[in-house]
Amino acid sequence: MSTVPLMRRVVITGMGAISPLGVGAEALWQGLREGRSAIGPLNHPDAARLRVKIAAQVPASFDPAANIDERILPMLDRTSEFALHAAREAITQSGLDFRQNGLGVRTAVVVGTGVGGETTQDEQSKRLYGENSQRAHPLTIVRLMTNASASQISIAYGLRGPTYAVASACASANHAIIQAAMMIRYGMADAAVTGGTEACITYGALRAWEAMRVLADDTCRPFSVNRRGLVLGEGAGIFVLESLEHAQARGATILAELAGSGMTADATDIVMPSADGAASAMRQALADAGLAPEDVDYINAHGTGTLANDVTESKAIRLAFGAHADRLAVSSTKSMHGHALGASGALELVAVVGALRDSVVPPTANLDKVDPACDLDYVPNVGREMPVRAALSNSFAFGGLNAVLALKRAP
Amino acid sequence: MTDTTQQQIFDLIAKQAKIDVATIKPESTLKDLGIASLEAIELIFDIEEHFNITFPDQQGANFDTDTTQSLVDAVQKALDDKAAAGEGSN
């Protein structure tokens, strides 16, 4: 028999975000709690010839060059720009100095992204196939590789622990955060910088989404009977995780405890979700965190605003929570920050940390009339002041992949 | 004319569903014919490519529960609109 492995508690001590609601995790959280939607007309050079007319985009006021070494800038796809800025904010908030006591060697970097350097890919494809150029830009590879964001964070802060990217489409951020937490829990690292980043509002990606016929043409209305589909978003959310004892030993301000997680695969269909798969991930997350269903007050839903997701997710919550499902506040903040794909779980974790910290549940915006097939309390349109003791954050991906985080208030 | 359009669409459906074209009835839904959500979207793409038309965005979402006749009607309408618009490119 092997010995029981070391199991350490994991806490969040820093968070940063670049999102359609602006620069900074606070800008995102303030917007979400106030129910402000950042969905607007698509801002893209090819907008006139595209069918998709709306998106949730990082505002033009975001300055990628601010605080980034000018020698590094040319190496960055938009994905990495977002990630580096969010990481800087998170690390600054945590107060950690990775040069002290060899902490850099004991710090992991795990960043989720659905597709990686899509802007670079799109630009270079246009150049080669559209403009018949013979030459790709020499920094194409270092910009577009999926691990670029994780590596750039590692290099910028001297983080020498396990560093890699995680890709699971719309669940990438949650899968990445779980990987990072596991490493701290089992002693492979004392700290981690983790989250998700995505920037794929490109001509090619927009055309591909159009062809799939899942994009809304008005706005994102999760759980509303008049929903018309999802709205693409972009951005990054990055967090600093630490073992509880590490955070307490240095007197750090703890934002929340990442108490557990659940990961499952539906193993059924490449796009149609399964309530069973999602429910089992939620059950796992509860068990892993030592939570009973009654301990949970809030679920940040995957809530894409598609018929397939919203009905299935509502059923799954009922399967996992039983009678307590009627007492849960459930909201989809994608109604405001859009669907940032591989970054979405990270943007949503900002909302969950805010809810735990400030005792306010962000609403589901644009919820005109609840779909009769969705029978939970979706916190329509206006945030709700209420104590939040523990919360789940759901991410479900194309490919049938489910990753759920369980969070508790800071101990 | 309509028959020709219908025949072409039924041929595309038969190919996608891997079934005998004779088994397709105007009142069959794509679901009846075993064409699930993602295959329905793929069929819509095949039809758009074949007729060089573009369906409005939200229509696709319901094609798997609509009848093949409504699909034929939608294609005919798109073709008529294109003809009325003169030379419709894109």
DSSP character string of A85-136: HHHHHHHHHHT--TTGGGGGGGEEEEEE-SSSSHHHHHHHHIIIIIS--S--
Averaged pLDDT for residues B19-39: 90
Q: Give the pLDDT of residue A2.
A: 52
Buried b (16+ CB within 10 A) or exposed e, B27-65: ebbbebbebebeebbebbeebbeebebebebeebbebbe
- CATH number at A70 reads 3.40.47.10
Of B38, B60, B90, the CB nearest to A271: B38
Q: Give the pLDDT of residue B87.
A: 56
The last residue of a domain, from among A222, A249, A276: A249
Q: What is the pLDDT confidence band of residue B37, given thresholds at 50, 70 and 90?
A: confident
CB contact under 8 A, A211 and B45: yes
Interior angle at CA B59, CA B55 and CA B65, nearest 5: 130
Q: Distance between CA B64 and CA B29 in Å, rounded?
A: 6
A241 neighbors A258 (Cβ within 8 angstroms): yes
Q: Are residue A214 and residue A265 in the same domain, yes or no?
A: no
Q: Distance between CA A235 and CA A212 in Å, rounded?
A: 22
- Please indicate, yes or no, if residue A255 is contained in any of the structural domains: no
Q: Give the pLDDT of residue B1.
A: 47
CB contact under 8 A, B37 and A213: no
- Please indicate, yes or no, if residue A1 is contained in any of the structural domains: no
Q: In B, what residues contact A, Cβ < 8 A?
A: 36-38, 41, 44-45, 54, 57-58, 60-61, 90
CB contact under 8 A, B58 and A217: yes
pLDDT in tens, A136-177: 999 999 999 999 999 999 999 999 999 999 999 999 999 999
Of A51, A213, A269, the CB nearest to B61: A213
Q: Are residue A207 and residue A266 in the same domain, yes or no?
A: no
pLDDT tops 70 at residue B59 = no
Choose, out of A207, A213, A219, the residue to mutate when testing the contact with B (most B CBs < 10 Å).
Answer: A213
- Please indicate, yes or no, if residue B25 is contained in any of the structural domains: yes
Which structural domain range is residue B9 located in? 2-81
- CATH number at B53 reads 1.10.1200.10
Buried b (16+ CB within 10 A) or exposed e, A288-315: bbebebeebbbbbbbbbbbbebbbbbbb
* Residue ranges of chain A with per-residue pLDDT less than 50: 1
Choose, out of B31, B35, B37, B89, the residue to mutate when testing the contact with A (most A CBs < 10 Å).
Answer: B37
- Half-sphere exposure (CA, 13 Å, Cβ side) for A139? 12
Q: Are residue A18 and residue A156 in the same domain, yes or no?
A: yes
CB contact under 8 A, B37 and A217: no
Residues of chain B contacting A48 with CB distance shorter than 8 Å: none
Averaged pLDDT for residues B14-25: 93
Domain count, chain A: 2
Q: Are residue A335 and residue A359 in the same domain, yes or no?
A: yes
pLDDT tops 50 at residue B90 = no
A258 three-class SS: strand
Which structural domain range is residue A401 located in? 260-409
